[in-house]
Structure 1
Amino acid sequence: MQHPQLQQLTEMVKQAAVNEVRSRFQQTDSRKKLDGTLITAADLGCQQWLTDALKQAWPDIPLLGEEMTPAQHDQLLDNSDSGLWVLDPLDGTANFAAGFPHFSVSLALVQSGQVVQGVVYDPMRDECFSAEQGEGAWLNGARLELSPSETVLEECIAVVDFKRLSPTLATALAVEPPFRSQRSLGSVALDWCWMAAARGQIYHHGGQSLWDYAAGRLIFAEAGGTFSAPEVKVSLGKQPAVAAVSKQLHHLWRTWLERMDRSDD
């Protein structure tokens, strides 16, 4: 059963997503940030809504939001031992701006470099994924548990984002994929959650930010998934991710990726 704080967080995230994100879908314009990514009134409105709500409920825990400066990010993460909220107010902004109904709000609680609670809400499907470290993961209150799989790579649906992969690996995945079919849906937080719900069996992403993966990766791990990343603790640098719904598949998938990525050395 979810702890009371996690239940309170899920309600906060859902209310913010409905009020500030879903209500603006196909109703607002986007603009480019300095890094070339998009931002909308929904990003800013949701971040402000949750900043205010979290500060009222837990005034001693600061918040690190995607729409802050790098200097603010560094300062907050350096002082996170006593607790830090990590928020992506709209994960999948490009989808949102294009009218593609696949995006989410992601909130995680970090303590001493570890994610201890996470909530990811998809306002278009009314699907709320949540997890608590060591306690399990849930989808709309029902426990998520991945079963040990004997599936071979050839039978898998792969969730793969090609943007930050090496040309060698991207070509191999496109020309001679080891899996049945591939998806790339544009919301890292939902990638992890859909993997936790066994909607894909193997996963690869070339580089994702802390606010993208913090909550979703905890949900996937608590559901029983296996992943590898260069750092177990959260960090501000972009992290690649390799994951699978079972240890066996993870080993096969990671071995294939490593072999193909160095095939032209």
Structure 2
Amino acid sequence: MEKVAEILAEASAEVVEPRFRALAAGEVIEKAPGEIVTVADREAEVIITRRLQELLPVPVVGEEAVAADPSLARALGTEPAVWLVDPVDGTSNFVAGRPDFAVMASLVRAGHTVASWIYQPVSGVSYSAELGSGAWRDGHRLVREPAGDDPEKWRGWVKSRYVEPALHHQLQSNARAFGPITPGLRSAGMEYPQLAEGSHEFILYWRTLPWDHAPGSLLVTEAGGVSARLDGSAYRPEPPGCEDGLLVACDPAVWERTREILLDLAFED
């Protein structure tokens, strides 16, 4: 566990942090409409991929490698073990000079995330989780206390950018039943740890790219929370385009009540 954390921090120190608020002309590229990548993303992924495979020689499904060759993501369903890598989670924040970005990795075995790591370069804080063994921040165990039973006091993020218009309107309307609701930090590697540590009670995600959600989902569940699809099935990392919709909450009671309020009748049979 410690070795992977070192790999992420060292790759960040080598190629990510030196370019924070110092990106040169031509170092930011549009890889798809509305999607940007930087040389720091690409270089960090190469370093992390090589070093993870030295630890365990299994396929690496990296965000930037999959952008170049989408077929690589199939390994999540065909290989017994796979590394997942997000070299800079929150690239738009990184490019804009905002501190909300992270470097992330996870290990998936037989379709289940069994270990995960999140490194936040600006603060230097490192999170990790191991299936069945717990979640940690810089070596200190994380245990998320259950929330109270009043939804009006619950804080959440509703990430509805990719939701179809009718459901988007419903979510925004129903979210008024809660306490403060915001669109999020544009980085799963910043959002999941905040929920695990107590600043929020739930997050509703829609698009669920595996390198974004495998690390944080394990962190939250190992801290005592829930990360599940809208039908109640536990989150499992899948290739892009397989499933949308993911509700993450600090405890089972908050998950059930939040789903009931936010989704109303839209997903009833």
User: What TM-score comes out, normalization by structure 2 length?
Assistant: 0.88
Mark the runs of 5 or more structure 1 residues left unpaired by the alignment: 1-5
CA contact (8 A) 1:226 1:244 kept: yes
Match of 2:212 in 1: 212
Match of 2:28 in 1: 30
Deviation at 1:246, TM superposition (A): 1.5
Q: Deviations over 1:61-80 (max 9, x none)?
A: 22110112111222x22432
Match of 2:119 in 1: 121
Deviation at 1:189, TM superposition (A): 2.8
Deviation at 1:204, TM superposition (A): 0.4
- In structure 1, how many angstroms separate the alpha carbons of the residues matched to 2:2 and 2:36? 31
SS at match of 1:243: strand
SS at match of 2:248: strand
Deviation at 1:111, TM superposition (A): 0.6
Q: Deviations over 1:144-189 (max 9, x none)?
A: 1011222421111112212022333433444551222123100123
SS at match of 2:146: coil
Pair 1:40-2:38 in alignment: yes
Q: Which runs of 4+ in 1 moved over 4 A?
A: 260-263
Match of 1:100 in 2: 98
- In structure 1, how many angstroms separate the alpha carbons of the residues matched to 2:180 and 2:248? 16
What code does the residue aligned with 2:6 have? E
Q: How does 1:236-255 map to 2 (within 5 A)?
A: 236=239, 237-255=242-260
- In structure 1, how many angstroms separate the alpha carbons of the residues matched to 2:135 and 2:234? 22
CA contact (8 A) 1:225 1:244 kept: yes
- In structure 2, how many angstroms separate the alpha carbons of the residues matched to 1:231 and 1:249? 15
Number of equivalences:
255
Q: How does 1:52-67 map to 2 (within 5 A)?
A: 52-58=50-56, 60-67=57-64
- In structure 1, how many angstroms separate the alpha carbons of the residues matched to 2:265 and 2:94? 34
- In structure 1, how many angstroms separate the alpha carbons of the residues matched to 2:190 and 2:260? 25
The farther-off stretch of 39-48 and 174-183 is 174-183
Deviation at 1:18, TM superposition (A): 2.1
- In structure 1, how many angstroms separate the alpha carbons of the residues matched to 2:14 and 2:149? 41
Match of 1:18 in 2: 13
Match of 1:170 in 2: 168
Residues 37 and 134 of structure 1, relative CA distance in 2, 3 Å threshold: same
Q: Percent identity?
A: 27
Mark the runs of 5 or more structure 2 residues left unpaired by the alignment: none
The farther-off stretch of 133-142 and 251-260 is 251-260
Q: Root-mean-square deviation (CA), in Å?
A: 1.9
- In structure 1, how many angstroms separate the alpha carbons of the residues matched to 2:266 and 2:13? 42
Q: How does 1:125-164 map to 2 (within 5 A)?
A: 125-164=123-162
CA contact (8 A) 1:226 1:245 kept: yes
Match of 2:3 in 1: 8
User: What TM-score comes out, normalization by structure 1 length?
Assistant: 0.90
- In structure 2, how many angstroms separate the alpha carbons of the residues matched to 1:199 and 1:21? 27
Residues 160 and 18 of structure 1, relative CA distance in 2, 3 Å threshold: farther
SS at match of 2:168: helix
